[in-house]
Amino acid sequence: MKKALIFYGGWEGHEPEQVAHILKDILSEENFEVRLTDTLQTLEEGNLNEYDLIVPNWTQGTIKKEQLQPLIEAVANGTGLAGLHGGMGDSFRWETDYQFMVGGQWVAHPGNDGISYQVNIIDRDCPVTQGIKDFTVISEQYYMHVDPAVKVHATTKFPIAEGPYKVNGEVEVPVVWTKMWGKGKVYYCSLGHVAEIVRMPEVIQLMRNGFLWASR
């Protein structure tokens, strides 16, 4: 049986505990043995290499070097990394090494929550988007700064909301991407502002696909 670690916490607005349990249920349905933890101390205790998959769900916050370094090394050694929204794409803002591993960083959500936007699947033959068609989300629309090394599987178009960025014209920003970090696979999905959005069938399927793809 494969083993997964989900660590959750940080800003409570993203409902980290509720979301962590939804993600745990997905993994349990796929026969993972799942450990949930609400402390970053877990990252410095024991051997993270024993996990086939690690799921960060910790928005903002700070992390100690002795907690971050084992995580980065475990992924480089082959442990998969997969997560969503700010729980993985807006964690530990001061830690550029973490952002380098993840492949991007949240910088804005123009219009805040309640924006209606389209998610466009651009790589329908990939395992991470298999069985998913374009769909609409009413939530935060994440504008990401993105590593050019990532492979993009789904996008959304900006601008929708008003703002000074609008004069730059239409751009596509990744919603789902994958990359490698050493021997480890990295998967990210920018959807999932609150538990209600994570429970959308499309988001559940994207996370299921991503977990299975990224796992060792």
Tens digit of each residue's pLDDT, the chain (216 residues): 999 999 999 999 999 999 999 999 999 999 999 999 999 999 999 899 999 999 999 999 999 999 999 999 999 999 999 999 999 999 999 999 999 999 999 999 999 999 999 999 998 889 999 999 999 999 999 999 999 999 999 999 999 999 999 999 999 999 999 999 999 999 999 999 999 999 999 999 999 999 999 999
Q: Which pLDDT score, from 0 to 100, does residue 10 have? A: 98
Please check whether the domain covering 2-214 is classified as CATH 1.10.630.10: no
Predicted TM-score of the model (pTM):
0.98
CA dist list (Å): 64 to 168, 196, 199: 38, 31, 32
d(CA 51, CA 75): 10
In the numeric block, which tokens belong to residue 186? 């990295």
Four-residue CA torsion sign, 144, 34, 19, 10: negative
Query: 150-172: b or e for each residue (b if 16 or more CB lie within 10 Å)?
Result: bebbbbbebbebeeeeeeeeeee
